[in-house]
Amino acid sequence: MSENLTEFFYALTPERVLDAVELEGQRCTGRFIVLNSYENRVYQLELEDGSFVVAKFYRPGRWDDEAILDEHRFLLDLQEREILVTPPRLLKGGATLGEVEGIRYSVCDRVGGRAPEEMDDEQLRGFGRSLARIHAVGRLREADARIDLDPDILLADNLDTLLDHDLLPDSVASAYEDAVWELHERSTPLFDEVEFQRIHGDCHLGNLLRTPVGLVFLDFDDMAMGPVVQDLWLMIGSRDAWGERRRDLILEGYELMVPFERWTLALVEPLRAMRMVHYTAWLVRRWEDPAFKLGFPDFGTEAWWNRALRDLLEQLERLRELT
């Protein structure tokens, strides 16, 4: 990945965004809103016919073309089966992926609605039914260019990233590294028998939209090959009785559509640990982006790393109790 390409991505302007969309034959009014996204650059644009689209410009170096097209294929597979998602529009020439000065982008229709702050019992059951339908479609084909959500990638590889960037303070480095390796050792056997398939990968309330026609699933940017329980545990939330009730309601709806292997709930705590390490490595990889330094001003301080180590050790202790 060239330095010039990265600098162009950091310096994307509304004018360049509008030009890219208009090259696809869609005339814009010039009105736009920058949408919240650290990983990509995402804009809502008004078209001259009064409709709105969302243009997503992909961060260079994260996904290659085939990985992005895996996401697009999943979304189009879901749309074909009338599952509520935001699939990419076809651009000129029939492709879903465009490029401007080396930066890839896609365009989808804007969907109006409200992000749910909470769900009642019936809404949790409905979420479970919808998620089961997504997973049924996810089984229909592979996504070979996407990562596998397993301990080797989310723990071992991410630890390599942290060590390569040399950002771990001496005061926590040894304990942090030891904790990750023990998490890896305890987690790996639990993944030996689990089936991997296409999943959303980052399924939580912030990636859902309540609309008059139903619940829309947003932002498949983190889609992966992984165990389906990954798409449940973020919605389950807490480990207390209320979390167990949410889990049971979601699974009540889910199992009306497809079977769920309850033994895979044992993967929730390993997946939680893997997400913690992956999040830290993500911050490290993106630290040269000016937006990250503004959004995470305390990252990299000794106090930040002390909190990260404490949280990781607490998670490790939970895993010791389970394995």
Characterize the bridge pairing of strands 52-57 and 103-109: antiparallel
> Which residue among 70, 77, 150, 202 is the active-site one?
202
Q: How far is CA 216 from CA 86, 163, 213, in A?
A: 8, 39, 9
CB-based burial of residue 317 (10 Å sphere; 0-12 exposed, 13-18 middle, 19+ buried)?
exposed
Compute the chain's Rg from CA coordinates: 21
Nearest to 154 by CA among 96, 85, 197, 201: 201
Characterize the bridge pairing of strands 214-217 and 208-211: antiparallel
Contact of 149 with 187, CB cutoff 8 Å: no
Please give the DSSP secondary-structure letter assigned to residue 157.
Answer: I
Contact of 199 with 224, CB cutoff 8 Å: yes
Residue type, 90: L
**Quick check: is 219 catalytic?**
yes
> Which residue among 219, 221, 222, 231 is the active-site one?
219
**Quick check: is 202 catalytic?**
yes
**Catalytic amino acids?**
202, 219
